[in-house]
Structure 1
Amino acid sequence: MEKIPQGTYVEITKEVLPKGERAPQVPSDTQNTPLLLKVKGFLQTPSIVGEEVEIKTVLGRKITGVLTNPNPRYTHDFGDVVPQLFKVRESIKNFMKSGDGHGQ
């Protein structure tokens, strides 16, 4: 594997709670899964994926964990479309236009 240079923006994973040590009120399938922390920051020493590394976050915190992803992508979104919301939107618009909803 190729070494990732120092200073590269990376993502690490760190186990916060091992399986079996989660809060007692969580479901059993969750109990049997470790709680993982994913953090992004700048690699402090050249390393390869899978190694224990130290990163420095944008805010300056230093955190250790297993290097999982060099140059991570932003993958957030707003989820799947919920068609019912379009119907609700139309109902609200019509209600507001009718004068019953104190609309303009």
Structure 2
Amino acid sequence: MTFQTGDWVRIHSVILTPDERTSAIPKETRGVPLEMRVKGWLVTAGASIGDAVEIRTTLGRSYHGTLEAVNPPYGHDFAAAIPELLRAGEELRAMLAEAEGETT
């Protein structure tokens, strides 16, 4: 399916490859590319998902990247739940209650 100029889209581009990243950041961070996703209006006519395109943002800035989605929904999350962190609050409260019991 092709999309037209003016369609609301999201693009993806790699800003820095792992080799281009500074050594001043943690090894785990250095091992992955620095990526950018931007939403805006499609400037490139007749583009399909996966094509290299240009967009214009609501602030009027132009960006180039790979077309990833058309009419992308607004959303955010903080990744999957980490079981150890889910229990941390309960464990801390139990430790504090135990410590208070010992000092009184």
State the match for 2:17 in structure 1. 18
What is the letter of the counterpart of residue 49 of structure 1? I
TM-score where L is the length of structure 1: 0.69
C-alpha separation in 2, matches of 1:52 and 1:60: 19
Q: State the shift of 1:78 in Å.
A: 7.5
Q: How many residues align?
A: 84
What is the letter of the counterpart of residue 16 of structure 1? I
Q: State the shift of 1:77 in Å.
A: 5.0
Q: State the shift of 1:46 in Å.
A: 2.3
State the match for 1:61 in structure 2. 61
CA shift digits 1:19-50 (9 cap, x unpaired): 12112122222212110111100001220011
Q: Is the counterpart of residue 28 in structure 1 residue 27 in structure 2?
A: yes
5 Å matches for 1:38-49?
A: 38-44=37-43, 45-49=45-49
Change in Cα spacing, 1:76 to 1:25, as seen in structure 2 (3 Å) is: same
Listed as ranges, the gaps of 5+ residues in structure 2 are 94-104
State the match for 1:52 in structure 2. 52
Listed as ranges, the gaps of 5+ residues in structure 1 are 89-104
More helix by share: 2
5 Å matches for 1:76-95?
A: 76-77=76-77, 84=89
In percent, how many aligned pairs have the same letter?
Answer: 36
SS of alignment partner, residue 58 of structure 1 = coil
CA shift digits 1:44-86 (9 cap, x unpaired): 1220011110001001111111111111111125787x794xx
Change in Cα spacing, 1:22 to 1:78, as seen in structure 2 (3 Å) is: closer
Computed over aligned residues only, the root mean square deviation of the Cα atoms, in angstroms, reads: 2.2
